[in-house]
Amino acid sequence: MSQIQIETNPSYPVIIEKGLLNILGKSIKPFLKGKLLIITDENVDSFYGRVIAEQMNENNIEWDKYIIVPGEESKSLEVYGRILEYMAAHNFHRNDTVLAFGGGVVGDLSGFTAASFLRGIDYIQVPTTLLAAVDSSVGGKTAVNLKEGKNLVGAFKQPKAVLCDPDLFATMKEERFLDGVAESIKYGILRDEELFSEFETPLTQRDARLSNIIERCVKHKAEVVKKDEMEKGERQFLNLGHTIGHAIEKASGYEVSHGHAVAMGMGMMARACEKIGVLKKDNRERILKVLEKNGLPTKTSYSTEDLFGKVYKDKKCSSDKITIIEIERIGKCRLHKILIEDFREYIEKGRV
């Protein structure tokens, strides 16, 4: 078992342990005050619903469950509202707790629900995907989407704890697992060439390196969040590949998954940064090769105009400017604020 303390206000532990699902009730009990609402999706519940029920009952935890439809469409104001109505109708109170048992959609939706119900109650994250484990479950960013774009309504709300069992990733579809690989590679490009090198041997769902890679990614995110909890400065680095990635997701009607879109965004930024003279050719080639070796795409068929039209809706825009992340070399990036109009050139240079 490894435990990382996230130094936010309030602080909380991230516990990474293989087999943690089998002691889940015992593990969450120290973080509970009242009853528990478990929010999960249909796919995750089909795999783990029985063992969750056994764990809650064996540990005398008063609990209820709300199951959503899998996918990005559930991260909506409509679904969010239905959960709030359910909690009110079933007499949840301020000393009760929400448990997010699922991937990024479940975690974001559950966190925002907890942040706003009765002006804020506790919640716990149990990520069931690699993407959620290394990224969205840590740091306290919660949100739902609007038709105009991703994560446009939300709040910063830190969980009481994050409990991560890498064994849960074995039941994931490979394509969804690769979403998490993309976000893990991101940390290597941003801050850690040694971590990046790990992916030169492709990561698999039962890989013995999983726990160590999750721990390293979480430690990097913890360091960034400690310095900039509310995303006013350094935390913006974590958006590497995301501005283009979110545009690709939106253009596809969310048919392209988040991690695959971010992989395309990182590949395109690597090409663009080489063409403007920021990144050396060998680093660009290495980034593209690692993404491709891990089964991830590095470019898109959407036109520059298709993507640029979506950038204005991105929450990273401020007035007529946007902060982008340029890659200087593997392990080192920089923030660069530019006019939104100038970002068109980055998209164009990154496409080919």
> For the residues of 40-92, what is the DSSP string, one character each?
EEHHHHHHHHHHHHHHHHHTT--EEEEEE-SSGGGSBHHHHHHHHHHHHHTT-
Catalytic residue flag (residue 231): yes
At 98, which helix (H) or strand (E)? strand 97-102
2-171 and 174-351 share one fold: no
Share of the chain above pLDDT 90, in %: 89
Tell whether the model's pLDDT for residue 221 goes beyond 80: yes
User: pLDDT tens across 22-70, in order?
Assistant: 999 999 999 998 999 999 999 999 999 999 999 999 999 999 999 999 9
pLDDT of residue 150: 87
CA distances from 229 to 86, 98, 321 (A): 31, 22, 22
Q: Tell me which of 231, 234, 345, 348 is the catalytic residue.
A: 231
Q: Tell me which of 235, 284, 286, 310 is the catalytic residue.
A: 235
Tell whether the model's pLDDT for residue 312 goes beyond 80: no
DSSP three-state, residue 140: coil
Average pLDDT value over all residues in the chain: 94
Mean pLDDT of 75-101: 98
Tell whether the model's pLDDT for residue 7 goes beyond 70: yes
CATH topology of domain 174-351: Dehydroquinate synthase-like, alpha domain (1.20.1090)
Catalytic residue flag (residue 221): yes
CATH topology of domain 2-171: Rossmann fold (3.40.50)
User: pLDDT tens across 125-154, in order?
Assistant: 999 999 999 999 999 999 999 988 889 999
Beta strands per DSSP E along 140-236: 141-146, 149-156, 161-164
Beta strands per DSSP E along 165-234: none
CB-CB contact of 131 with 103 (8 Å): yes
pLDDT of residue 148: 85
Buried b or exposed e, range 79-91, using 16+ CB within 10 angstroms: bbeebbeebeeee
Q: Where are the domains of the chain?
A: 2-171, 174-351
Tell whether the model's pLDDT for residue 279 goes beyond 80: yes
pLDDT band at 287 (very low <50, low <70, confident <90, very high): very high
Q: Tell me which of 75, 160, 219, 242 is the catalytic residue.
A: 242
pLDDT band at 276 (very low <50, low <70, confident <90, very high): very high
Catalytic residue flag (residue 235): yes
DSSP three-state, residue 23: helix
